[in-house]
Each structure stands twice: as C-alpha cells, then as structure tokens.
C-alpha cells in the first residue's frame, strides 16, 4: 500500500522536541504520533507496519550519515537485499526535519521506484561481499555507492546501513521528482 498523505504529519509541525542525539527526538516523535492514535511498531520492520512506512527524524543541520536499518553480520550475509531490513525500511518514509528542537517539516517520501532501489541494492550487495570476506569490519568501503554498513556502537553486535547526508539529499530529490510519473515499470 502506498501512502500519499499522512494527515497527522501536519500536526507535528511546530512541535518542540528534545535533542536529536542518541535517537531522543525520534522516540519523542513516535510518542507524539502514538498520542494521535496511530500504532507504532517498535520491533523489526517499518514503524507503521500496516503501511510499510518508516519514520525518520533528522536535524536540518546534521552532517553525519543517517542510519536506515540495523542488521547482524549473519543476517547481512544470509539475506538478499529484498529480504533485508534495509529494503523494508527504505520503501516509504515519513521524514521529519527539525531545526533548533522544533519540527519544521514532515513529508512522505516514496523511495520504492526501481531507479532508487537499484542504487540501494548495489550498495547493499557491495557491502555484503566485503562482509563475506571479512566479518570483523567496522565499516564497509562505499566510494561510488549509495550506502554502507558501519558499526556505530562497539558494544552492539549489529551493523547499521547508513547513507551520507549528500546521498540522502540526492535520493530524496529522486523520490520527489516527476521522473517516476513519466515512466511505468
């Protein structure tokens, strides 16, 4: 199911949120949405599981890479892209942007078009090959690819699939472009 409009998103604009550090803002936004009567999935899979919609919060001025999904090395090695958490969480997203602890935008981005998914699948497979060769990597090399796996916390057993700020901006532009409306797959 494709989500074109998420009506509660308008109610998020102007809300004050805590720091974006360590996921505090994201969890706070999840709680705001739950108070609006929308069920949030806190387990594996998209946050709005019935709609295949993932919630992502981001400070407008953040420069670090953004995490899409976490997976164990075993899962990465044994799951194809289309069976992965990365695939499931990068189809549609409600992207909430924050500036100075205030929500300034909340929009739906449809990343399901094959032109976007092909880029992510290539990056996933490139990183996967590296992890097959060396399971102890803390970060996969990603020059020329949209995404990489990185161990963001030494105490966690999972790796995070991440996108650079520049790559995320490019993919958002592709998701919002009219290109996908000009061609059928």
The per-residue DSSP string of 90-118 comes to SSEEEEEEEETTEEEEEEEEE--SHHHHH
Give the list of residues 6+ apart from residue 16 with CB closer than 8 angstroms, or none. Answer: 101, 102
| Dist CA 178 CA 2 (whole Å) | 16
The domain defined by 9-179 folds into: ECO RV Endonuclease; Chain A (3.40.600)
Residue (of 126, 137, 53, 51) closest to 95 by Cα position: 53
Q: Are 3 and 108 in contact (CB under 8 A)?
A: yes
**Tokens coding 117:** 């998914």
- Digit-coded pLDDT (tens) for 137-163: 999 999 999 999 999 988 888 999 999
Q: Are strands 92-99 and 53-59 parallel, antiparallel or unpaired?
A: parallel
Residue 183 has pLDDT above 60, yes or no: no
Nearest alpha-carbon partner for 10 in 131, 80, 125, 94: 94
Asked if 53 and 108 touch (Cβ cutoff 8 Å), the reply is yes
How does pLDDT run across 61-103, given as a tens digit for each residue? 999 999 999 999 999 999 999 999 999 999 999 999 999 999 9
Confidence of residue 1 (pLDDT cuts 50, 70, 90): low
Neighbours of 103 (CB within 10 A): 22
Domain ranges of the chain: 9-179
Q: What is the pTM of this model?
A: 0.90
Whole-number Å distance between alpha carbons of 80 and 76: 8
């Amino acid at each position: 199911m494709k989500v074109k409009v998420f009506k509660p998103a308008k109610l998020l604009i102007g809300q004050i949120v805590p720091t974006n550090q360590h996921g505090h803002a994201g969890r706070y936004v999840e709680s705001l949405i739950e108070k609006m009567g929308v069920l949030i999935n806190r387990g594996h899979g998209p946050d709005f599981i019935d709609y295949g919609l993932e919630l992502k919060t981001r400070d407008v001025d953040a420069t670090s890479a953004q995490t899409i999904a976490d997976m164990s090395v075993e899962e990465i090695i044994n799951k194809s892209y289309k069976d992965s958490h990365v695939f499931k969480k990068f189809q549609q997203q409600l992207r909430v942007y924050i500036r100075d602890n205030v929500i300034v935008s909340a929009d739906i981005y449809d990343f399901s078009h094959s032109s976007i998914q092909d880029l992510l699948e290539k990056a996933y497979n490139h990183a996967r090959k590296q992890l097959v060769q060396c399971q102890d990597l803390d970060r996969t090399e990603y020059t020329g690819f949209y995404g990489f796996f990185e161990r963001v916390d030494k105490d966690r057993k999972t790796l995070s699939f991440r996108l650079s700020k520049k790559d995320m901006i490019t993919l958002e532009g592709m998701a919002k472009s009219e290109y996908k409306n000009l061609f059928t797959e």
